[in-house]
Amino acid sequence: MKILLILFFISILSSPSNANLRCKEISNHLLASECFKSKKNIKSALEALSKFKESSDEEIYDYLDFKRIQILQNTNKFIESIEEFSILHPKSQLLKKIDFMHIEFLSKNNFNRKLLEKLDLVEKKYKLTKKDKLQIKFYRGLYFYQIKEYDKSFNLIKQISTRNPLYKSKYINELIRTLNSKHSYILSKKDKINRLNALYNSGQYTTFMNEYEENLSLQLLIKKSLIEIKSKKTEKGLMTLSNISLGKFASSGSQSKDLEAMAESKYRIILYELNKSKDNSALAIRLNSILTNFPNYKKNTEVGYLAARLFTIDKNYNQGIKVYNWLIKTKSKGYIDKSFYGLGFSEYMQGNYRDAIGYFRSLKESDKLYYQQLGSYWTAKCFLKLNDRDLAFKEFNELADIHKIGYYPYLASKEINKKIDIKPTKQIINSNIYKNDINLLVISKNHRKLRKEIENYIRNKINSTNFIDYLNELNYAGEFNLSIKISYSYNANDRYKYPRGFRSIVEKNSKKYGVDPNLIYALIREESLYDSKALSWVGAKGLMQIMDKTGDSLDRELKIKSLLFNPEDNINLGTYYLMKLSKRFNNNLSNILAAYNGGPNNVDLWRNKFTGLDDDEFVENIPFKETNGYVKRVLRSYYYYKNNN
């Protein structure tokens, strides 16, 4: 009897009437409409949308009429609503999306002749993105299947399956199975290899393992082994890689493919050991042996640079210099600037400052701004080491004056004790021209799918004539993440790229814990780009990207309970943690930031290894690539905030 009562109450709570009641309780009519739409209550969804439209201006009517079409998508009024939209909004950017909705409708209802006409029209009418072209290919595949032209259908569908396995995977896989079982179409060996490679590259490891077949290719066997290593079958995966690296496998029939597989396995084993080994030079020697024994290995430039870096980190500079020179001699694409930098820094660390200047000066001619600044700064440092202060200060001044914003200009300004005057910006004025667009963003803040749709809608309305007004209104509304992204698409003032978001919370916690507010702003910008909902692939959360374990530990110390996606809680914990790191590392900014990203214990290890170095020299020697870049980026932003109050 008790079980029956429980089931009865569950059925009441989950009934359509109760679901609709929850929708009615939503005060915002647009969100209520979305709720009703998800419950398939078309009448209520339309009524709520109509009420929202009554309180809105014409500038977003096309979007609201688009939402109406979405609601009517599976009704007999769908075509009529599309026709009305075309008349009311003939220039709307949403017409392409609506045409694709129309295509889906025609395909579902087997209107084959009209479907083909619509597909042809859309291809001629619009500038199509890669995703658009993929959709066209999918619906053409379905069209050919419906008219029983199975060869053409299979050819298109298998292209999607092997190149874009995440696109409509459920439908594509079902259609492939149907074409196989009813019409005897099968994927070739090459098709299977391409699909498995695409699955691996898109991180679909479970599907990869389910579909894996033996003897397809050695490279796929290597990928299978790497998945096993990640999925706690480490010994099995490493054993397979070891066997391949030693040539213990059935030949593919191609010597070049066999050698490529052996080199790849050796490289992958070294990469696995990289995080565990304390002898970087030993690993570098093994990497060098790959260069020697497998000269045609496709990843040799990557292998060579890693070997050179490991030698450098181990202070085995002369061995590193040999590999850097090899990379330059072989004109290794993407590694020329890095190799000149490696050569310069290796000579610098050995006290060969005149030789180092030659390499650093060559970087000033790089087509990459970062290396231009790096080359200029370290050229100046070499002059300082040679006691030529005039040339050093000339170089520092030029770097600070010309580039103004950047990690190396920041260091240069410190060396010459010069505050850089960054062009002042006018106060942000909220014009309210696009208040309805901004209101849509604010409403959808906690509704991920709707938010993404609205962001795309607004971004497509922004152009070179109105972006300043949009940026002003976005900043005024606290939409800093979107504002920063848009500012990089146009020639926007740096003021929009470096906002002071969540100012009241930052200032409060700055005073509470005695942490420079400019450092907090800089860290938030680089950690999350002011996205309070940011979630990294390793699980770091919120504005200051705090891990659950760290958050729990800090909560216990403060005797509070925090929600990491809540800006107030996140900034409180992040600033408190910065205070702790400041005390531990005597307010040394480089150490604090390296510890925030790479861990305080690692910073202790690195400082012990690289004793007696200046802070700038220490940062260049940080062995973690991510932490090395992180410290530089945060200090660049800190420099901007500090000089642009």
**Cα angle: 172, vertex 175, 180; to 5 degrees:** 125
Residue 432 confidence (pLDDT)? 78
91 and 37, same domain (yes or no):
no
380, 383, 382: which is closest to 397 by C-alpha? 380
- Cα separation, 483 vs 443, in Å, equals 17
Q: Which residues pair with 224 in a beta bridge?
A: none
Share of the chain above pLDDT 70, in %: 96
Q: Tell me whether residue 310 is in a domain.
A: yes
**In sequence order, what are the residues at sequence separation of 6 or more whose Cβ sits closer than 8 angstroms to the Cβ of residue 635?**
407, 410, 522, 589, 590, 593
Averaged pLDDT of the chain: 94
pLDDT band with cut points at 50, 70 and 90 for residue 13: very low
End-to-end CA distance of the chain: 70
Contact 357, 379 (CB under 8 A): yes
Q: What is the DSSP letter of 275?
A: T
Give a yes or no: residue 422 inside a domain.
no
Same domain? For 323 and 352 the reply is yes
Is the pLDDT at 8 greater than 50? The verdict is no
Within a domain: residue 518? yes
Which of the following is catalytic: 34, 264, 527, 620?
527
Q: What is the pLDDT of residues 121-131, one digit of tens each?
A: 999 999 999 99
Residues spanned by the domain of 586: 503-643
Question: Is there a contact between 378 and 407 (Cβ–Cβ < 8 Å)?
Answer: no
How many independent structural domains does the chain possess? 5
Query: What are residue 546's phi and psi, to 5 degrees?
Result: -100, 130
User: Are 503 and 511 within 8 A, CB to CB?
Assistant: no
User: What span, in angstroms and rounded, lies between the C-alpha atoms of 512 and 137?
Assistant: 58
Task: List the one residue out of 50, 12, 15, 58 whose CA is nearest residue 32.
Answer: 50
The Cα–Cα gap between 645 and 638 comes to: 11
282 shares its domain with 311: yes
Q: Quick one: 102 and 198 in the same domain?
A: yes
In angstroms, rounded to a whole number, what is the distance separating the alpha carbons of residues 632 and 378? Answer: 15
How is residue 623 annotated by DSSP? Answer: S
Q: Are residues 26 and 65 in the same domain?
A: no
Q: What is the pLDDT of residue 422?
A: 62
Q: What's the mean pLDDT in 602-608?
A: 95
Q: Would you say residue 427 lies in a domain?
A: no
Q: Which amino acid is at 204?
A: Q
- Per-residue DSSP letter, 185: -
Q: Are residues 351 and 444 in the same domain?
A: no
Query: Based on the domain organization, do 487 and 533 belong to the same domain?
Result: no
511-549 confidence digits (pLDDT tens)? 999 999 999 999 999 999 999 999 999 999 999 999 999
Contact 66/97 with Cβ under 8 angstroms? Answer: yes
- What does the pLDDT look like over 269-298, one tens digit per residue? 999 999 888 899 999 999 999 999 999 999
Asked if residue 3 and residue 140 are part of one domain, the reply reads: no
Phi, psi of 148 (to 5 degrees): 70, 25
Residues 510, 486 share a domain: no
Residue of higher predicted confidence among 466 and 7:
466
pLDDT confidence bin for 623, thresholds 50/70/90 = very high
Structure tokens at 625: 């690539």
Domain of 289, CATH number, reads 1.25.40.10
Tokens (6 digits) for 289 = 């042996």
Q: Which of 28, 40, 95, 31 is nearest to 65 (CA)?
A: 95
- Does residue 271 lie in a domain region? yes
Cβ atoms of 39 and 23 within 8 Å: the answer is yes
Residue 421 lies in a domain: no
- Same domain? 636 vs 580: yes
Of 183, 211, 239, which one is at a domain's C-terminal end?
211
Residues 6+ apart with CB under 8 A from 129: none
In a domain, 424, yes or no: no
Structure tokens at 458: 């607004």
Q: Which of 362, 383, 415 is the last residue of a domain?
A: 415
Q: Is 84 a catalytic residue?
A: no
Paired with 40 in beta bridges are: none
Chain centroid offset of residue 526 CA: 12
| Nearest Cα residue to 304 out of 312, 361, 620 | 312
Give CA–CA dist 494/442, Å, rounded: 24
d(CA 217, CA 244): 12
> How far is Cα 300 from Cα 292, in angstroms, rounded to an integer?
10
DSSP designation for 60: G
Q: Which long-range contacts (CB under 8 A, 24 or more apart) does 131-139 make?
A: 132/96, 132/100, 134/160, 134/164, 134/167, 135/100, 135/103, 138/167, 138/168, 138/172, 139/103, 139/104, 139/107, 139/115
Query: Is 309 in the same domain as 359?
Result: yes
Better-predicted residue by pLDDT, 532 or 14: 532
Q: Which of 358, 403, 363, 410 is nearest to 382 (CA)?
A: 358
The DSSP 8-state label assigned to residue 545 in this structure reads: T
Best mean pLDDT range from 246-260, 426-440, 506-520: 506-520
What local confidence, expressed as pLDDT, does residue 18 receive?
Answer: 73
Q: Which of 415, 444, 465 is the last residue of a domain?
A: 415
Q: Are both 70 and 184 inside the same structural domain?
A: yes
Integer-rounded Cα radius of gyration of the chain: 30
State the pLDDT at residue 9: 44
Q: What is the pLDDT of residues 452-472, one digit of tens each?
A: 999 999 999 999 999 999 999
Distance CA 280, CA 282 (A): 5
pLDDT at 5: 47
Q: Specify if 439 maps to a domain.
A: yes
Mean pLDDT confidence for 389-416: 94
